[in-house]
Structure formats: C-alpha cells, structure tokens
Structure 1
C-alpha cells in the first residue's frame, strides 16, 4: 500500500526502497490526502544477511516531525533486529537451540566456525581466509581466482586444491562438491553483520559488532582488501555521526585511539568545558606533538 512507486514519497515506502531511515514532514508527501501527517520510518534487517525484512514506521502529527522521533524509530528498529536474531537462536520455550545456519567469526585474532548442531571450533588462518573469500563470492571462485586472492605471489592450482581438500574435511557439507568452489549453505559472518548495521544507520551497534580488524594476521591480498574496506566503512560512519557516544566508543578502541579526525569530531560534538571536550583537546595536542 505504501510502496514509493505506488503512492510516491512517504517514510515507510522510501525507507523500504532505499534501505535507510527517513523522515517525511507534511507537505513533503507526494499524495495530497496524507500531507496533514508526518512520518518517520526505519528498515528492519536480518542481521545475518543484511536483507530488509520490513519497515518500522510512526505516523502522526507534530511529534512525528521531530528529530527525536526519527532517533526513536531507528533505535526501536535496531532493538527489533537484535530480538529477531535472538529468537532465531531459541526454541518456542525460549531454550537455546543450535544455529540454523553456519556462523563465522572472523573479526578477531582467533577465528571460529559454528556448524549447526555443533559447538564452535577454532579455525586455522588459512581455513578462515578461504571461508571469508568464499562467503564474499556466492557465485563461486575458481582455483586461479583463489590463488590470486590468497597469496601476494599467487599460489599454484595444485596448492589451492589441496587447501580446499583440507578445508572440506573440517567444514563438511558447508562446502559445495562442484566447481567453481562455493559454499553450499548460507554462512552468517560477523563481517556481514557489521555491514547490515551500517546500512541501517545503526552506527552504535556497528561499532560494537566491529570487534577488531578482519583476520588481522592475514596477508592474503583478498582479505587485506576486505579488511581495509570494512574498517574504512566503519570509520566513515563514525566521522559522519552526530552521536558523541559513537565517536567516544571509536576513540576508545585501538583502531581509533590515534585517529586525529575522530578526536577533532569529538571536540566539535562535546560541550565546551566538559570532561569529554577537555580530553579530546588534550589527545589532539598529544597527536600533534607526536606527528611533528
């Protein structure tokens, strides 16, 4: 009913079309009968896949036009996403159940994989690299393509096939038996979770979910590119944010501790005379002296 291509500009329809939170105030509506109302809406996503499941919307009079309402809707949508993720891991009585889909934790020095019905298992760096790269290529990758992505000087096809064979013994049916090499089942990754949170403008949760660089010990070119891209995406969202708490969380992390632009952002967002403002100015002065 509220699809943008059917009734024109409106918050739920536009949020559904763009995948981003949006607020539409009175006359901004395309359809005249609803121009007396304002609305604020935010998409609700599957945190594992990033797929938009629906939209949370508040429509009403003047209160719906306030900036507070948009923040409330965004926070509520994020809470719904987290609850849906939790319910996906419990049975009707609320007891924990095995994960319906395999899950990969790669934003940590010690990567791990959880297969349905089994406890999490530690992965070797090479196996984690392969799973990350295959998760990023749902259409599959040839041995030649994986060779280039896995090693700076490229590997031989024979070496890649041997690595895949060893991985298959660890992950079993998760890996498709055919060619090109691909995953046979959906794989939930913490990388995809961070991307989904960024896409829904839930920067606070994205910073929390970004526990560290992707496979920090890896020197595989394909992984290094993904690592740099993800950190850049998180940092960019932090620097755009008007939420002081988001920036403080970033500067408290190793990745943000020496981020000059982030400390500058914190100075602008903190009330003059506050402890946060003084701390940010002090850290900027220290960084300036260090960089001279």
Structure 2
C-alpha cells in the first residue's frame, strides 16, 4: 500500500480500511506475518521504531513532559512562540468549527499549546493530548506529531495506524516546521479529531500552514542577513582582499565568499574560535555582534567579554567592546559561568538559577538563545566561557583577597545584579555585600566609607553613617550629610 493511499481513499471506504488496519495491527503485535497487504511503509517504519522503544500498546495516556508551573516560561522561551499567531490565525477557527483540536509541539513532540473544540479537548484530556504532555514516538508510539517529527515530513495517522490501542478512535494530521536558518526542526503543528471526524485531506491544510510558517521564518532570516551585512561590512573590507567571510551564528555564509569555496554553510565548533573548512584548511572565527568574521590569516584572537553587573539595574555586556543587549536571565547565566570557569552542567545551572523547582529544559532553551548572541564564546558539555572575561564582580573578589582597602571602595558600585532572584546569585550578592561592608567598617578610611555610603544600597546604613560622623570633623560636608541621614532614619 503506498503512503499516498489514505488521501485517495473515499470517506465511505474508511470503515473497511479501519477493519483491515486492526487485523494488521494485531498480527504485527502478535509477531505473526500479516496476511495479505502490509501497512504502508511510513507506518511499518514507525511501528518498528515504536516497538524498539518498548512502547506498550496498552498504555492509556501519553506521559507528562513539563510541570504546569514551568510551561509558561518554556513556551515564551521557545522559537515556536513567535509562530503561534500565524498558525492559530490560519487553522484554529477551522479546527474548532469542524470538531477538531489544534496542537503545537516542540521538536521532541512535547505539547506547548492546544486549542479548539471544547468537547474534543475534554475527550483528548483522557489520553494526555494536552499541554505539557510528551507525544514523541519514543513516549507514545506511532502518532501524528511523533511520526511527523521522526520522518521530517507531513503525515496523516488514521485509527489503528496508532501503535497504542486507546488512540484507535483518533486520527491526526501533522507537519514539521524546519528553521531555514539553522536547518533544525523547530517543532510541528497537528490537527487531531475522532476517526470519523477528521478527513485525510486535512494533512494538506496542515502542510500548507507549516510551509507558510517556514516562509515567514525565511523572510525574517533574509531581513536579519541584510542588517548583519550592513553592520559588519567594514570587517570584511578590513581584510584587504584576504580570504574571509561573514558567517551567522548558525553557520550560514552570507557575505565575502563570492566564489563559494566553502559552500553555503560551515560547521561551527562546540567551543573555541577555530573551524576546519571543507577544503581541510583551518580558519579563525572572530565573534561579532550577532555573527562571526571567518578569516584564514593571522593568529587566533581570543575575544574579550566585559561584564558590568555591580549595582546595575540594567546589566551591561560587551563583546570586544561592542555592546550586546542581554536579558536578566542571560546575565545571571553569564555570572554563574564566570564564577565557575571549569564549567557547569545543565542540572547545576538549573538548580542555581531556579532552585529545586528548576527545569533543565528551560536552561537549555536559554543557553541556545544566549549562544545565538555570543556564539562559541559559550561552550557546551559542560557549559563554560571560552573567552577572556573581564567582570567587575570578579575584580571585586580579587580585591577583597588583598590587603589594601581603598581599591575596594572604588570598585564597589552596588550589589551584584540587584534585581536577580536566582538563589545562587542572591547568595553571591549577600556574601560580596557582607565582605565589603565588614572590610570597610574594620579598615576603611573616611574616603572609603563615604564612597561606600554614596552607593544606592548603603546610603542609609546606620553603622557606616555613625562611623563617618565619628571619624570626620563636624564641619566636613560628609559628616553633615551623615548626621542628616541618621536623623531621618530616627524619624522614620
């Protein structure tokens, strides 16, 4: 039976086809060769994968993949989030009106969003066809989402083509969405319904929507490429005719290699700034803002990452002197990696960022987005920084280990990432604050204490103010300011 058979089957014949499928399903599960025709090749291959994965045909529901409290953050961090308005605007109304449900899943088949007909959603809850559940083939066997992702092609899975028996009343049409930038599968979209409600032609509608989403991604990719070429053309010109190219953080060559000696894409290293080209030569990758300069000549240059996180409501990050806008969460990740130069695992980062409630899936998504901006300066396995790190909080830690107190007062501009609630950042912040305060109270002169008292988080420190009053002449403007602050604190 060909893979296109279902699209050609008239609706009245689906009952007969369903009966034949059930006989084939029972024969395959019993280990007997099927009598007569075999399942279409797509289904045969999926059943083999499902059995190799140890799927139990009597399973009653897909397993959960995410905790409900983590789902919102996982959704917002996932690249499929940006495509949701396009997908729902194209498919949701039709799915709801025809008693179907619309599902969007990530590249592993974990459901991120679900909507559609409420009666069908209630029935879908019984088998875990809902937000946060895992529908990869390795979790629940042959099904629309899992099989579309495994085969990297649109599929329609009908009735007893599902490996798990409880799903035989369902049919589903799904199509993967491939990122034209990275070439990776981002996730898939799926329309599911009961066996009699969902027509096989639904797969054509789902496939068209997936291609529309990919076209949207391709347009945004070309717009980003144009901006990168305009921003970094000067770096190519600075090579003065030497071989080189502008490369995206996903490895696509977008400028400089007019002869296409290296093809349209190169394989970026997991870490470091060297890459082996298709012709066997070694090239260097210099990180730029959102891209890399690939060059053949000269020595490998180690990039410099500058982190200014003390007293910073909006943390400042620079890569080779170029400002890189980063989120608070990315600043927290960089802080932890800077404090742990030997590297951290996904589990360690998750615990230090979120505590016991952390989810490694969230951390991997954040690292993926961070590496899109900083490239191989953030290495993997374990996660670590492969560049020279110049961080104000690391400088402060070195000064606290020395004897001289004056540089500490000049270096301290406030608490480390004051808005951060990450457990490990809070502990580091409190430790640094306590060490600075103790050192200045013990050995600090008037200038040191005043510099500390001028920071936002120390200006009302009673012990610091009393020490200033005791050390300074009464008519010194700093002593006057300290007395005024102490009086205000007494009145409060």
Cα distance in structure 2, aligned partners of 1:192 and 1:225:
15
Match of 2:348 in 1: 145
**Residue 333 (structure 2) aligns with:** 130
Shift of 1:132: 0.3
In structure 2, the CA distance between the partners of 1:110 and 1:281, relative to structure 1 (3 Å rule), is: closer
Matched with 2:7 is none
Structure-to-structure mapping, 1:83-122, within 5 angstroms = 101-107=304-310, 108-116=312-320, 119-122=322-325
In structure 2, how many angstroms separate the alpha carbons of the residues matched to 1:274 and 1:165? Answer: 54
**Conserved 8 A contact 2:376-2:386:** yes
State the number of aligned residues: 191
Stretches of structure 2 that go unaligned for 5 or more consecutive residues are: 1-300
Residue 261 (structure 1) aligns with: 463
Q: Which residues in structure 2 correspond to 1:151-230 (within 5 Å)?
A: 151-177=354-380, 179-230=381-432
Q: Within 5 Å, which residues of 2 pair with 1:39-50?
A: none
Computing the radius of gyration over CA atoms, which structure comes out larger, 1 or 2?
A: 2
TM-score by length of structure 1 reads 0.59
Task: Give the whole-Å Cα distance in 2 for the aligned partners of 1:282 and 1:191.
Answer: 31
Q: Alpha carbons of 1:278 and 1:175: their partners in 2 closer, same or farther (altered >3 Å)?
A: closer
Structure 1: 5+ residue runs without aligned partners?
Answer: 1-97
Work out whether residues 125 and 218 of structure 1, in 8 Å CA contact, stay in contact via their aligned partners in 2.
Answer: yes
- The one-character-per-residue Cα deviations of 1:19-49 (angstroms, maximum 9, x if unpaired) are xxxxxxxxxxxxxxxxxxxxxxxxxxxxxxx
Answer yes or no: is the 8 Å Cα contact 2:412–2:452 preserved in 1.
Answer: no
1:134 offset after TM fit, Å? 0.8
Shift of 1:283: 3.0
Give the superposition deviation at 1:272.
4.6
Q: TM-score when scaled to structure 2? A: 0.36
Other structure's SS at 2:384 match? coil
Q: Which structure ranks higher in relative contact order (CA pairs < 8 Å, sequence separation ≥ 6)? A: 1
CA contact (8 A) 2:307 2:317 kept: yes
- Counterpart secondary structure, 2:388: coil
Q: Root-mean-square deviation (CA), in Å? A: 2.3
Contact 1:239 1:262 in 2 (8 A): yes
Q: Higher strand fraction: Structure 1 or Structure 2? A: 2
How many Å apart are 1:129 and its aligned residue?
0.7
The answer on whether the counterparts of 1:175 and 1:183 sit within 8 Å (CA) in structure 2 is: yes
Question: Equivalents in 2 of 1:212, 1:274: separation in Å?
Answer: 24
